[in-house]
Structure 1
Amino acid sequence: MSRPSFPVPPEAMGALERLWSECHAGYLVGGGVRDALLSGTPHDPVWDLATDAHPEVVLALFPGSTYENRFGTVLAGGVEITTFRRDHSYGDHRRPDTVTFTDSVEEDLARRDFTVNAIAWGKAAHAEEAGWVDPTGGRADLAARLLRAVGDPALRFSEDALRLVRAARIAAQVGLTIERDTEAAMTARAGDVTYLARERIGRELRRMLDVVPPSAAFRILERTGLLAPLFPELAAQRGVPQAKIPGQDLWDHSLGTLDAAAALAPDDRMGKLAALLHDTGKPETAADGHFLGHEEAGARIAQSFLTHLGFGGPDVRHVSRLIRHHMWSYVPAWGDSAVRRFMRRVGPDLVDELLRLREADNVGSGQPPGEGGVAELRERIAEQRRRGVPLDVADLAVDGHAVLAAVGREPGPWLGRTLERLLESVISDPQRNTPERLLTDARAWAAER
């Protein structure tokens, strides 16, 4: 049996062979084929297969599989198997109003977005040998490093406006130049992104953050006029002065910070989001060359931005906290208690990411990453951790029940205030973290009221 020139995971190859064994057509298609031809490694671990078998047949062939949607896609393990189809009108500029199944792989490929995604490897029912099906010249475009729409670019983008965003992301992700007519159509139809559901934009934003470097995708969005209708909070940074690097403005700085954050921690999407959004508060706080309070404004903007795009509450709060605290300053004269208060104020869970954000911010400003004592502060924080110093009420040698028993009062707001006061005393002097000293302090404070 023939095999493609690139490695195919056993699960995907097994699904193909299962379809063939039942006399159905089966083809590898989509981004997995594109990426494998370019680099040998797909960016998405889920492979796409196309077949002439209808969904109910696929469900029967693959026990435990699930019918994903009304467009003929069945999820079987780590493989998505979709029936060949023709799409009809796209009334909402997002998804086809109706689809019709077909027996033709060529018809199926003709409805796809870009030629490099319209390449198939496999075979028809009853065929002896597997091979390539490439009716739109996708392999030639890959060889030329071109991203070209299938057929009429304006029509392709009018069908599903998300293709506009995907074009920028795919071109940046795999290093393709957008073909001239395709890019012109992107610019002409940029306003169509207002039809998109915010969650779909949010999913593409997550994927753009994984591009190396991520700034490449955002620069394409800006060049084609897509940035402002998609992300007005980001576009507002263009033209805001940024004096640290001659010839660059605030948007250039934010993109440089984003790329630096991605280089420091490639898998930390929240850190990359914080880098991208950390100065979004500057345009509205700009006055006389200063941006007082921009970190608070930026945290508020980031919260609204991420919530609107469908990010979960924990992620929204995490990024907002990073931005709110990103203007910290350190001086070597800090005592150990000042280091502990810094850790307490920003949150022990956030400290490492906050230092990394400062390193990225420094690089984005044309400075060495360690500017401002980052390395020294990181070592001092590590020393406090090695010593196991308390930084949270839960780290105290007593809990609320012990304080209640020692003081002899009913629970109330005073208890939380007392525990916080005890923690502050322990942060100042960790030697005070014993039950005897803490309960003595609690009783003394209770007697003051």
Structure 2
Amino acid sequence: MTVKQNAIEIVKTLQEHGYKAFFAGGCVRDMIIGKETADYDIATNALPQDVMKLFEKTIPVGVQFGVVIVVKNSHNFEVATFRAEGSYSDGRHPDYVAFCTPEDDVKRRDFTINGLLYDPIKNEILDHVGGREDISQGIIRTIGNPVERFTEDKLRMIRAARFACRFHFPIHPDTKQAIIQLAKNIHVVSAERIREELEKILTGPNPHIGIQLLDELHLLQEVLPEVSNMKGVRQPENFHPEGDVFVHTLLCLSKLSPVSGQGMEKPSFTLAMGVLLHDIGKTVTFEELDRIRFNLHEKVGADMAARICDRIKTSNAEKERIVWLVLKHLYFKDAQKMRLNKLKRLFANEGYPELAELCRIDALASCGDLSDYHYCQEMFSKLSHEEVKPKPLITGHDLIIMGLKPGPLFKDILTKIEDEQLDGNLTTRDAAIEEVRRLISQMKTVLK
């Protein structure tokens, strides 16, 4: 039984027990647009306790707001009682909830395209907010007064940009103006919720349009001022004929796609953030003497990226990958002159496929020269995992047995032996131990 069939069975059960029940929100919108959906939300006049009695397995996730999860054949379905909501003192949660009619329920939702109901038993769409017309016209418009809708939940301002870039719909002028008016209030929303919306924009369709929209709506300067500051930062035309740093970044985002071979339907959040922030350091390292320069912008940018990740509450693993991508995004330009050990160390990093995609995108969005990218990819495909990450010929324990104490010198010797192994100059344990003895002897001579 498909997810949709399970959802229909839930609606059918509710209706057979005398309740009104419909598909609601995004699943109805996607059905009309002709897009596949995996999430089916159900709205009903059954109270939470009624729902929990009717179904064998339920999860009372938000009973105070009339919301229950019904679990059917291992799929979770949100079943919510029709409700009207009071004012939002905290800009996120309603101060009170009152159960109501289907018409009043949809009128408290965010956008008209998300305010539709569908009866899968009668195959009938209920439209109390003009949602079908706005889908037909391709418009993102709030239900009712836009200032009221955004005052209720400030995150809806970013969601407007997300839906606009996802469906390539323009935002209605009144809705757009209300967002510009209220943009500075976005800070009442938690960093976690803002990050979730940014992730959906960056990993969804048309991320470049999403970032450009956030800028037009005055939201970018509030949530990612470092990205907003890219505007007007000039670049040398021989390397970047496309324009300033902001234009280049938008062009990079427009070329963003899933990394091949990873079985993903969309780009990862870490890759998308790496693309968005790879040139962030240029905003503070710009210098024009004999020509435009951005000295050490990758290192400065990595530090800035770390602070951004902290601010928007990414996970530690996400932060580490994003910072690494920003720090290493220029590595490919020197790849053809690199010693083999340095190249192998790069290939050994789990983030290499994402770095390769970032470098490909960066080149395509500027000079168009992919020779460094192709060289790295060719070398990467030639080298086996054993060649890239070979078992160490010696360990720290071996050095201790040879009379060395852990410390900076200890680490230097291990690194040099590993470099020689990666370069193919050392292939046996005996040869590695002999090289350690030579290094120790050499160091003793220098110390004398």
| TM class, shorter-length | 0.7 to 0.9
Structure 2: how far apart are the matches of 1:120 and 1:369? Answer: 51
State the shift of 1:101 in Å. 2.0
Aligned amino acid, residue 79 of structure 1: F
Is the contact made by 1:390 and 1:396 (CA closer than 8 Å) also made in structure 2? no
Q: How many Å separate the matches in 1 of 2:369 and 2:20?
A: 55
What amino acid is aligned across from residue 254 of structure 1 in structure 2?
T
Indicate the residue corresponding to 2:254 in structure 1.
Answer: 259
The range that moved more, 106-115 or 69-78, is 69-78
What is the identity, as a one-letter code, of the residue corresponding to 1:323? V
CA distance in 1, matches of 2:146, 2:438: 77
1:361-401: CA deviation from partner (whole Å, max 9, x where unpaired) = 11221x3251x522022212322337x32546xx2134444
Match of 1:188 in 2: 181
1:382 is matched with: 381
1:183 Cα shift? 1.4
- Measured in 1, the distance between the counterparts of 2:348 and 2:172 equals 48
1:94–1:160 CA contact under 8 A, matched in 2 = yes
Per-residue CA deviation, residues 148-187 of structure 1 (Å, 9 max, x unaligned), is: 1111111111111111110111011012221221112122
- Match for 1:397 among 386, 393, 400? 393
Is contact 2:347–2:380 with CA below 8 Å preserved after alignment?
Answer: no
Query: How far does the alpha carbon of each residue in 1:68-110 deviate from its partner, in whole angstroms, 9 at most, with x for none?
Result: 23422222233111111111011122221221222x1111111
Matched, 1:81 2:79: yes
Letter in 1 for 2:184: G
Q: Residues 341, 299 of structure 1: CA spacing in aligned structure 2 closer, same or farther, 3 A cutoff?
A: same
Shift of 1:230: 1.9
Q: Which runs of 5+ in 2 are unaligned?
A: 261-265
- Does the 8 Å contact 2:344/2:388 carry over to 1? no
Q: Distance in 1 between matches of 2:296 and 2:438?
A: 39
Q: Aligned letter for 2:323?
A: S
122, 133, 157: which one aligns with 2:126: 133
Q: TM-score, normalised by structure 2?
A: 0.88
Q: C-alpha displacement at 1:247, in angstroms?
A: 6.8
What SS does the corresponding residue of 1:100 show, helix, strand or coil? strand
Report SS of the residue matched to 2:331.
coil
The runs of 5 or more residues in structure 1 that have no matched partner are 1-6
Distance in 1 (alpha carbons) for counterparts of 2:369 and 2:27: 37
Residue 419 of structure 2: aligned partner: 424
Does residue 52 of structure 1 match 2:45?
yes
Identity of aligned residues (%): 27
Tell me the residue number matched to 2:111. 114
* CA deviation string 1:24-80 (max 9, x = no partner): 2211011111112102313xx222111112222222333332122342222223311
Alignment of 1:46-445 (within 5 A): 46-69=39-62, 70-76=64-70, 77-102=75-100, 104-122=101-119, 129=122, 131-244=124-237, 245-246=240-241, 248-262=243-257, 266-288=266-288, 289-330=292-333, 334=337, 338-344=339-345, 347-365=348-366, 367-368=367-368, 370=370, 372-385=371-384, 388-391=386-389, 395-405=391-401, 407=402, 415-428=410-423, 430-445=424-439
Change (3 A) 1:192 1:27: same
> Are 1:72 and 1:83, in contact at CA under 8 Å, matched by a contact in 2?
yes
With over 3 angstroms needed to count, the CA separation of the structure-2 counterparts of 1:256 and 1:373, relative to structure 1, is: same
Q: 1:444 to 1:243 in 2, by over 3 A?
A: closer
Q: Residues 320 and 61 (structure 1 numbering): CA distance in 2 closer, same or farther, change over 3 Å?
A: same
Alpha-carbon distance between aligned partners in 1 of 2:353 and 2:340, rounded to the nearest angstrom: 13
Task: Report the Cα distance in structure 1 between the residues aligned to 2:57 and 2:295, rounded to whole angstroms.
Answer: 57
Structure 1 letter corresponding to 2:313: G
| Cα distance between partner residues in 1 of 2:256 and 2:204 | 12
- SS of match in other structure, 1:426: helix
Compute the TM-score of the two structures, normalised by the length of structure 1.
0.88
Question: Counterparts of 1:9 and 1:148 in 2: how far apart (Å)?
Answer: 27
How far apart are 1:271 and its partner, in Å?
A: 1.2
Q: Assess, with a 3 A threshold, how the Cα gap between structure 1 residues 409 and 303 changes in structure 2: closer, same or farther.
A: closer
AA aligned opposite 1:111 = R
Distance 1:32 1:242, change over 3 A: farther
SS at match of 1:373: helix
2:263 maps to what in 1? none
Instruction: Tell me, in whole angstroms, the C-alpha distance in 2 between the residues paired with 1:398 and 1:115.
Output: 66
Task: Answer whether contact 1:325 1:346 (CA < 8 A) is retained.
Answer: no
Letter in 1 for 2:155: L
Offset from partner CA, 1:240-280 (integer Å, 9 cap, x none): 11344557321111111122233766333211110111111
Instruction: List per-residue Cα deviations over 1:162-215 (Å, max 9, x = no partner).
Output: 111101110110122212211121222212212111111000001001232211
| Change in 2 beyond 3 A, CA 1:408/1:71 | same
